Amino acid sequence: MSSLIRLSLSLNSEIAEKLDQMANEAGYTNRSEFIRDLIREKHTVLESERGAEVIGTLTIVYNHHRRGLTEEIISLQHNCQENVLASTHVHLSHEICAEMIMLRGTCDGIRSLAFSIKRLKGVLAAELNISPTGQNIS
Ligand code: NI
């Protein structure tokens, strides 16, 4: 377990208020925990940009009545099978489907697949969430 280091920082009152407001809205009761999580999030972004491995969840909503769309979505996933860990399909209504696709790989690879699916006509929404794999986090 890593040791605890105390840091002090100086912020102007406007920034300090924003910090407390953001922490409160996110449900934090402790500034240190909030700042630690902000640093982790930023670190994930920077690592992702350097090509580190990440995991992602792509949630898509689409109209399966659109001719050929379901096949295209499946085909794109097969072409990136090394990145696709699993997927779950939910029938939202008579014609609308949702799919949650779990991904693993470089940020670029995962984003590329997400954009390929998002661009398809008939895809109504596509939201990609990226997380670290847990390596190099303390
Ligand atoms: Ni469906």
* Interval between CA 65 and ligand 1 midpoint (Å): 10
* Interval between CA 90 and ligand 1 midpoint (Å): 6
Provide the whole-model pTM: 0.72
* Interval between CA 59 and ligand 1 midpoint (Å): 13
* Interval between CA 91 and ligand 1 midpoint (Å): 4
Residue 136 in this model has a pLDDT that exceeds 70: no
Q: What is the pLDDT of residues 68-89, one digit of tens each?
A: 999 999 999 999 999 999 999 9
Residue 138's pLDDT band (cuts 50, 70, 90) = low
Neighbours of ion ligand 1 (CB under 5 A): 91, 97
Residue 44 in this model has a pLDDT that exceeds 90: no
- Provide the mean pLDDT of the chain: 91
* Interval between CA 58 and ligand 1 midpoint (Å): 16
Segment 133-137 mean pLDDT: 71
| % residues pLDDT > 90 (the chain) | 71
Segment 115-137 mean pLDDT: 89
Segment 22-35 mean pLDDT: 92
* Interval between CA 74 and ligand 1 midpoint (Å): 13
* Interval between CA 79 and ligand 1 midpoint (Å): 21
Q: Bridge partners of 100?
A: 59, 88
| % residues pLDDT > 70 (the chain) | 96
Q: 58 phi and psi, to 5 degrees?
A: -105, 120
14's CB contacts (< 8 A; 6+ apart) are none
